[in-house]
Each structure stands twice: as C-alpha cells, then as structure tokens.
Chains A and B, each alone.
Chain A
Amino acid sequence: MIGRVAGLADLLKGDGSADRVVPPSGFTAHLTLFTAGAMAFLTVFALALSLAAGQLADRWESELARTATVRISAPEAQMATQTAAVLEVLRTTPGIAGARVLDAAEQAALLEPWFGPELPVDSLPIPRLVEVTETGAGYDGDGLRLRLAAEAPGAVLDDHTRWRRPLVRAADRMRLVGYLAIGLIAASTAAMITLAARAALAANARVIEVLRLVGAQDVYIARAFVRRFTRRALSGAAAGTVAGAVMMLLLPDMGGDSGFLAGLGFSGWGWAWLPAIPLLAAGVAFWATRAAALRVLGGLT
C-alpha cells in the first residue's frame, strides 16, 4: 500500500522523459480535465449532503433523548383530580424515571413563540403539561396510553419519538444517498476516463508499435498514459473542488438551528474532507487508465 502511494506520488512528479515518448494529445486531455472538474464539483455537494444528513441524524437521535409529554385537557373543575390521577399512573408505570407538572411560567415560555408574550395563560383553558422522563429501558407506550385513558380521560400521551423516529430514518437514508451519489460519480468518472484513455491509445497506435519494436514493455508504455491522465484528473478535480467549495461558501446562511437545512454546508472537520476529492479523482484515473492501457496493449499481437 505504501509502495503504491509512493508510486502514485512518483508518477505525479515532473515531466519524466517517459512522458515525451507519447505525443501530447488534444481532445482527450480536455475531456479528462473537464470530466474530473465537473465530477469533483458535484462530489462537493454530495459530500455536503452526506455530512449534513449524518449530523442531522445524530442530533435528532440524541434529542430523542427519552422525554415525552402528557397533555391534560379537562374542564377547570376536574383539572386537579385528573392531574393527580395522571401523576399516580406515571408513578406506578415501570420504565418511567420521573414526572413533573410544568408551571404556568414554563407553559407561557413554551407558547410564547406561537402567540407572543402577552398571552394571558391564566385566563385561558390551556391544557396542562406533564413532562415525563424515561429510564434507559423505556416504557410500554401503548400500555401507558390505555391506563391513562381509563384513569384520566382528558390525558393524552405525546411521545416525541413517534414523529421523530421516521425523520431520523430519513436523515440516515439521505446520508446513504449522498454516499451512493459519490460512488456513482466515481464510477462515471472511471468510465469517462477509460473511454478517453482508449481513444488516446487508439490515436497513438503507431507510437505504441514503434515503442514495442525498440523493446518497450507494456508497463512502460502504459505508464506514459497513466501519468498523464492521473495528472490531468488531479488538476481538473482540484479546480472543480475549489469551485464547489466557493459555491458552498456563497450559499445563503440559514442561521443556527433552522430545522432541516441547518448545517448543510461544511463545518469544522467537514472541510478537511475536501482535499480528498482530487486525490480520489487521481486514484480513479490512475486505475482506470492503467487497466485500459494494459488491456489494450495485452490484446495486441
């Protein structure tokens, strides 16, 4: 592996004399540069999607953090008895670590974003909220619902996990889609470079024949092509990555925590992944060209 990496580094070093034996080619060079650039540009966004979806999934996963709410809507007169009943049910349910009735100030704070600070909480028939904390093992949601319905008809268990879990799953799926996109981009890059390399080999059939006649081995001839395509893919992808990164920086800032789109873009270690894109492109070009060249040369008589 280290040998391979060293070989790759060696390959990218200055213009070896071996390079000159194959005449510079026009359109395959541009095709490779363009393909690598465009693919790297797309990879930046696929990578951003994967990283953001991953962060989102992790954040939501941890926020699922074992809290639920019981909402009690009852006529003023029954409120106290039903609240007591709910607390009693919760106290005797296995898997529940604690339950606490939110006071008026807390309820007002929760409602403020929706109705503004002037809301007269006291004079409105607002449901009372009980915050439930689970133990690590968790409780049986359906069983609890049945018991609440029997003891306190106005109480509803509001289990956050029920609507968040699908979101976490969706975010996970999104991360997978991002990775899949990167894989597909790499595969199409390999296919394009294979085509370009084959075109270059065909265009240089006479050169290859002369090289064989003076005793060149296939690896020597292949190297002349591999070196070129690897270098072109590297520089094309570097340009594409920079362009993609600039685009990411120019995306409108969506603020700290505005839901789903928060954190699309790179943060912290995310940026560290970007230099990997040109290297990946170079690696793909290296293997695609090498395989194409050795196959074409091996097929000659």
Chain B
Amino acid sequence: MIELDEAAYSYNSDDLLAGMTLQLAPGSFHFLTGPSGAGKTTFLKLCYMELMPTRGAVRVFGTDVRAMSRDAVALNRRRIGIVHQDCQFLDHLSVAENVALPLAVSGRDPSSEAGNIDELMAWVGLDGRRGARPPELSGGERQRAALARAVVLSPDVILADEPTGNIDWDMAQRLLRLLVELNRMGKTVLVATHDLNLIRAAKAQVAARVLRIRDRRLQSAGADL
C-alpha cells in the first residue's frame, strides 16, 4: 500500500528523518511512536504525499510520489483516510457537511448518500451533533468527526495522527475500538501516538506492530510495550 525505501526528509539542512524503510502491508495495523518533535507528523505527511522525500523514495499504491502529478496526488488521497493531529475542518460548514466533504470533492452527490453519512455519524456517536459547526465541538467530538470524514470514501489506508491527543481515557478507548473495527474490515491502519497505554490496550485487541522514531531512524519497538 505505502512503501518507504531509504526515505529521508529535512525541513532545512539537517535531516529530521533518515533511512526510513517500511512497507505497510494491506490489512496491517501499525503504531508509530517517539518523543514529541521526533518527526511522527512529518513521517505521516510523507505517507500522504503532503511532503516529498528529500532522499530515497516513497511509493504510494505502487507509484513513486515524485512521479505523481498534483491530480494524481489528489486521486490517491481519496484512497487514504487521514485523521490530522489538529483535525482540520471547514468552520463555515456543519459537522455533517464536513464529514461529507470528501464525497463532494470527488464529484459524488453528498445528498444521495445522506443515509451513509447518517450511519457514519451514528457509528462515531455524533448523530446528535450533525448540524453543529466544528468550533462548537469538544476535543473528543472533533477527533471522532475527523475519523468519520477519514473513512467516508471507504479508503484502503487510514493514517491517524495522535487521534487520542486531547481526550480522556474512556473516549480514547472508544476511538481505538473504531480503528480496530476498521482494521478488521481489512483497512490498513497506521496510528501515530505517544500514548503507550493506548498501544498496550490495542495489543490486546489486534496484532499491531509498533515502530519508534529514535535518532532520526525508524526502529521496531521491543516487546517491552
């Protein structure tokens, strides 16, 4: 699905990430951890083609990202559901419209899929908040709305950046269950988090592989987690 081959990235002269090699196999579940500022978000941006590797290669669905046109990037992003660390919404639209946004931009008529949207809102527990504006949502509600939007096109891959960043433990577990459920449906899932409790809780439910960014490199975390 997504493949990194000795990929490196630097914002300025020094490498932030180097020698990243990884294959996200279909249906796999990965955690990405590391201290704040290690480059987890940057790593995800490489995966969803927001950033191009400064060295090495990143291949998404078999195509080198550097060979992709802007249109190709847009089309491939529809196969990747992204939950951003800072959940980006369009504040002038309702939550339901934001969730339906990927449908609208891919040329499908959101009104003809209203049933699906309703179902999805119920699945993330937001059926009562459909008409609210994103700024009116709580942190946990925003995270769940972001997850609903990420899966509305039923993507092959889900990338989640600190999806439990600013929510309590109960809500975090609820979100984790949703991600595990998606993985059981066959989606490839990659979650960046520094919440080790979340990772432990996940390992009880799913065969997840844990990666850690340390000293600019990607390593497999040991069984100590």
By the criterion CB–CB under 8 Å, are B70 and A21 in contact?
A: no
Interface size on A, residues (CB 8 A): 20
**8 Å CB interface, B74-129 against A:** 74-75, 77-78, 82, 84, 88-90, 92-93, 97, 101-102, 104-107, 109-111
Q: Using a CB–CB distance below 8 Å, which chain B residues touch chain A?
A: 48, 50, 70-71, 74-75, 77-78, 82, 84, 88-90, 92-93, 97, 101-102, 104-107, 109-111, 149, 153
Check A211 for interface membership: any CB of B closer than 8 A.
Answer: yes
Q: Specify the main secondary structure of chain A where it touches its partner.
A: helix
> Which chain B residues lie closer than 8 Å to A209 at the CB level?
88
CA distance A206 to B110 in the complex (A): 22
Q: Provided the pairs A207-B90, A214-B149, A215-B153 are in contact, do residues A21 and B74 lie with their beta carbons within 8 angstroms?
A: no
Query: A13-55 interface mask toward B, CB cutoff 8 Å, 1 = contact, 0 = none?
Result: 0000110110100000000000000000000000000000000
For the A-B complex with A213-B77, A214-B105, A215-B153 known, give 18 more contacts whose Cβ atoms are closer than 8 Å: A17-B109, A17-B111, A21-B93, A21-B101, A21-B104, A206-B88, A210-B101, A211-B101, A212-B77, A213-B48, A213-B84, A213-B88, A214-B77, A214-B82, A215-B75, A216-B105, A218-B70, A297-B70
Which 6 pairs between the two chains have the least Cβ-Cβ distance? A216-B105, A215-B78, A215-B77, A23-B92, A217-B74, A214-B102
> Which chain A residues lie closer than 8 Å to B78 at the CB level?
215
A-B contact pairs, 25 of them (CB 8 A): A17-B110, A17-B111, A20-B93, A21-B90, A21-B104, A21-B105, A209-B88, A210-B89, A211-B101, A212-B74, A213-B88, A214-B101, A214-B102, A214-B149, A215-B77, A215-B102, A215-B105, A215-B106, A215-B153, A216-B105, A217-B70, A217-B71, A218-B71, A220-B107, A297-B70
Among B50, B77, B82, B105, the most chain A Cβ lie within 10 Å of the Cβ of: B105
By the criterion CB–CB under 8 Å, are A213 and B82 in contact?
A: yes
> Which chain A residues lie closer than 8 Å to B50 at the CB level?
213
Check A7 for interface membership: any CB of B closer than 8 A.
Answer: no
Select one of B48, B75, B90 contacting A217, CB under 8 A: B75
By the criterion CB–CB under 8 Å, are A210 and B75 in contact?
A: no
> Which chain B residues lie closer than 8 Å to A217 at the CB level?
70-71, 74-75, 105
By the criterion CB–CB under 8 Å, are A215 and B74 in contact?
A: yes
**8 Å CB interface, A241-256 against B:** none
Q: Shortest Cβ distance from A205 into chain B, in angstroms? A: 12
CA distance A213 to B149 in the complex (A): 11
CA distance A8 to B92 in the complex (A): 27
> Which chain B residues lie closer than 8 Å to A216 at the CB level?
74, 105
Q: Provided the pairs A214-B77, A215-B102 are in contact, do residues A20 and B84 lie with their beta carbons within 8 angstroms?
A: no
By the criterion CB–CB under 8 Å, are A210 and B97 in contact?
A: no
